[in-house]
Structure 1
Amino acid sequence: MATIIEQLAGFAADVDARTLPADVVRESQRILLDSLGCAVASLGDEGARRGVDYARYLGGTGGEASILGTGTKTSVPAAAFANAELINALDQDAVLPPGHVTPYVLPGALATAESLRVPGAKLLEAIAVAHEMSFRIGKATDYLRDIKDGVVTIPDVIGYSSTLFGAAAAVGVVKGLDAETLADALGIMGSTVPANTQRAWMMHAPSTTIKYQLAGGMALSAVTAANLAERGHTGDRQLLDDREYGFPRFIGTSRWEPAPITAGLGTEWTFTPFQSFKPYPHCRVMHALFDALTEIVETHDIRPDEIDAITAWGESFVLQPVWVNETIRNPRDAQFSMTHGLALAAHRIPPGKDWQTPEAVLDPSVLDLTKKSTFQAHPGYTEALKSDPAARRSRVEVQARGTTFAGERAYPKGSPSPDPATYLTDDELAAKFRHNVEGVVADPDAVVEAVFALDGTEDVSALLNLLR
């Protein structure tokens, strides 16, 4: 019987863009468009610049793969590193359980596709495979939010290393590797994945400027695994089947339910109903609150200096150091501080790259309002989460002008939900992209058009050239 890794490899090798469901193609295009915009928007970020500088050190400036938005060409491994750092830098990139997936799985495939000048359909196949595989393996392990004895808890060991099987597979798909070589790539990837260190990052605040796990390093490791397999290295194909010594043991997960990894594999696509996009460059836990808060201050034209207090109720599990931190030194701190995020949203700065400039983050008015903001667990959050994993019960109250203004949300904008209004439409996603690339990309509309026509493009490098 084929191992789980061999079944995943067979699935990846057999995917054909001509037979992909329309929603899978469209969602893959949307993921790509959003990621390109997030990357370009990050070019002014100090942390992202470190990643770009290191990539130039790693691969020079004479290769065949682009560092997005810079005009620099470098090696495939170096471009994968830089673009992963850029996509994730402002924390406005797409989210999919187990959390952030795209910044780890897209960059290697994108750089490889450009260097090989493959058709756009091949890149879309890789994006779809990477997200489907990452979602399925993520379901087998601990979730970021677990409900135990009626309480939402965080596992002792969490992280995004499980996404790297999909990342390595995506590179292999672009290269046209056969199922046998792909199985070796996944086996190599499984035995070389980084440790899941995210819980330490969450518990130590103020946090480091490297968040979650190093996005560039993770993307680079996927490129390495696929290329080593192509060159003849073999991988451990039993890693996902072996509970005692394999991946579930050494990655540190307390739950391993592998059945969803292969159930309907190749005939059922499962990731699209859970794919979300972020209007705000801030941790997703706050987005429903931002939706309600911005509606309040805009509807009633409330100035920041009129606000006496902001009180918010939201996700119950995030009363952890990285989120309750109010020591704001840089945009990385700001991306996760709940009270600072409320203060920033109340200033009505257009969501996007403008939120994470040092000037906005360290604005004395924002810092002053941070001190007037509080966050606590919403009493109905756990019950809502039990019934729908996308639910985010949130309430915010703004005290201003001697009056209390209140707003509530059940789901954040950008997430699929029973409320059609929360879906981020193609037009809204394109508007986010245009705002993010303003001043850098000469013709944003041409990029939008090229992405949504990618399945008919003969050479994906034509799209990347539009981002110079």
Structure 2
Amino acid sequence: MAVTLTQHLADFTAATSYSDLPHEVADDSKRVLLDSIGCALAAVDEPRGRIAIEYAGLLGGTDESATILGSDKRSSVFGAGFANGELINALDFDAVLPPGHVAPYVIPGALAVAEERGASGKELIAAVALAHEITHRFGKSMDYLRDTKDGKTALSPVVGFSSTIFGATAAIGRLRGLSASTLAHGLGIAATSSPVNAHRAWIAHAPSSTAKYHLQAGTLAQTALTANWMAELGHRGDLQVLDDAEVGYRRFIGTGRWAPENLTDGLGTRWDFPAQHSYKPYPHCRILHAPLDALIEIVETHDIKPQEIESIRVWGEGWVMEPVWLSREVEHVHDAQFSIAHGIAVGAHRITPGRGWQDPDLVFGSSVRSLMDKVTYESHPDYVTAIEANPSARPTRVEVTTRGRTYTAERSFAKGSPSLDLATYATTDELVGKFRHNASGVLSEADTDHAVETLLNLETATDVSTVLRALTPSGSRR
């Protein structure tokens, strides 16, 4: 019998170790760990973060096997996996990689299992790399949010990030040392346990659900953990689920585009995800990052105060003319992460990006609210042509009218993304600066220094549990 796609992915997962990773792959895996953990630390007092930590307590009972990032509370592997997924994504400050957000789905289960088992830093890095590569390959094989057709944007009626279940499951299984055969069954179980792709409904409704994308990161992390445990205990998964295009995963997850050759082409010899990984300098939906880059250049260069602004006109991504982004109803701090008008208004206030962007006094304050009324947004006329030539392209124009003049700035790519413009690349020093800002008020300065040092040199750690235990307010005393 021919090797199925599920078995192929399992074989790759079981056979890959840290020594197989090119330098840039290992490096980017450490970078995304640093960035994701920092995002989680910044979110511990946010509404979604508080809910996640409380729920983890209900899940864990007296089990304290795993760290909840930024919290002095601990939980079971399943409880910490849930909480950390929600924390990483709470501020919408975490990295993005096609099919969309990946880190909050694939990292939390790996962290919890690595801690419970006392895995080495090298083992964790390899698991994170596997998770991102497998997930990105699914992103290349299925419908994507930024697809185009016949010269127009083509937002599919069914989209979402549910395919991250495969990367999440692979990472956990690798850390648990499962055989390729057991891993294949785990992946098969994960496929048929996968949450539905309900993202399109979330986009269409405003104010949006605070269960972001209609796919809670914590829930997916738990599903991946469950799939591994069930396979290890003896359940058999559907090994043909990826090969059967008529009734298999492609059909029931709702994707119209299915290019399974992207799952295996060059797998094990070519790593694609680092070249597509984007890091977010602003705690706002990625669609607004290029406009924010341009806007902030204008207001800082000309020292423009918010109250001086007469109007802000923005041309940007064309596929976002949808309720969740066009909405001006900001009823919850969560809504501030997606409203274009609100995000532009906040950006004009020149506040350091971080949890401060969701301070209720700012979010609901009169200065931001009044400036929202002066913001307009349209699709950039070159948008489709640009992204068809380069998927990372984000053609943008911003005009700010003030003091009887109109100031203009343009962008082709957003800061934080690998692109033809090397200046947009997020350097490790920039990610460290972001981490330090996110950790402020949660970790001491000494503990923050220690966290940066250990995470950037994670390959030297013999037991990651000591690293993770230090990522709490009382970490240095454990």
Give the TM-score taking structure 1 as reference length. 0.99
Cα distance in 1 between the residues matched to 2:180 and 2:340: 45
Q: How many residues end up aligned between the 2 structures?
A: 468
Which one-letter code corresponds to 1:178 in the other structure? S
1:6 aligned partner: 7
Q: Where do 1:305-384 residues align within 5 Å? A: 305-384=307-386
- Is 2:442 the counterpart of 1:456? no
1:415 aligned partner: 417
2:255 aligned partner: 253
Runs (4+) of structure 1 exceeding 4 A deviation are none
Q: 1:60 Cα deviation (Å)?
A: 2.5
1:444 aligned partner: 448
After superposing the two structures, state which structure 1 stretch, 218-227 or 353-362, moved more.
353-362
SS at match of 2:44: helix
Which one-letter code corresponds to 2:470 in the other structure? L
SS at match of 2:410: strand
Cα distance in 2 between the residues matched to 1:202 and 1:398: 28
1:466 aligned partner: 470
- Check conservation: 1:310, 1:399, Cα contact below 8 A: yes
The structure 2 residue matched to 1:430, chosen from 429, 432, 444, is 432
1:221-255 CA deviation, whole Å, 9 max, x = no partner?
A: 01110111111111001010001110000001111
Cα distance in 2 between the residues matched to 1:36 and 1:355: 18
Q: 1:187 Cα deviation (Å)?
A: 0.3
Q: Where do 1:157-196 residues align within 5 Å? A: 157-196=158-197
- Check conservation: 1:61, 1:73, Cα contact below 8 A: no
Cα distance in 2 between the residues matched to 1:269 and 1:227: 28
Q: 1:108 Cα deviation (Å)?
A: 0.3
- Is 2:299 the counterpart of 1:297? yes
% identical equivalent positions: 52
1:235 aligned partner: 237
Cα distance in 2 between the residues matched to 1:389 and 1:221: 31
SS at match of 2:346: helix
Q: 1:48 Cα deviation (Å)?
A: 1.8
**Relative to structure 1, is the Cα distance of residues 409 and 176 closer, same or farther in structure 2, using a 3 angstrom cutoff?**
same
Q: 1:61 Cα deviation (Å)?
A: 5.0
Q: Where do 1:74-93 residues align within 5 Å? A: 74-93=75-94
Which one-letter code corresponds to 2:293 in the other structure? D
Q: 1:137 Cα deviation (Å)?
A: 1.2
Cα distance in 1 between the residues matched to 2:249 and 2:376: 40
2:67 aligned partner: 66
1:300-350 CA deviation, whole Å, 9 max, x = no partner?
A: 100000001110000011000000000011221110000110000000010
Q: 1:62 Cα deviation (Å)?
A: 3.6
Which one-letter code corresponds to 1:467 in the other structure? L
Q: 1:161 Cα deviation (Å)?
A: 0.7
Cα distance in 1 between the residues matched to 2:287 and 2:314: 12
2:200 aligned partner: 199
Cα distance in 2 between the residues matched to 1:202 and 1:116: 39
SS at match of 2:159: coil
Q: 1:360 Cα deviation (Å)?
A: 1.7
1:253-290 CA deviation, whole Å, 9 max, x = no partner?
A: 11111101000111111111001100000000000000
| Structure 1: 5+ residue stretches without partners | none
Which one-letter code corresponds to 2:408 in the other structure? A
Q: 1:452 Cα deviation (Å)?
A: 1.2
Which one-letter code corresponds to 2:252 in the other structure? F
Cα distance in 1 between the residues matched to 2:442 and 2:254: 42
Cα distance in 2 between the residues matched to 1:133 and 1:386: 23
2:475 aligned partner: none
Cα distance in 2 between the residues matched to 1:354 and 1:449: 25
Cα distance in 2 between the residues matched to 1:6 and 1:115: 27
Cα distance in 2 between the residues matched to 1:284 and 1:456: 33
- Check conservation: 1:61, 1:72, Cα contact below 8 A: no
1:215 aligned partner: 217
- Check conservation: 1:79, 1:111, Cα contact below 8 A: yes
| Structure 2: 5+ residue stretches without partners | 473-478
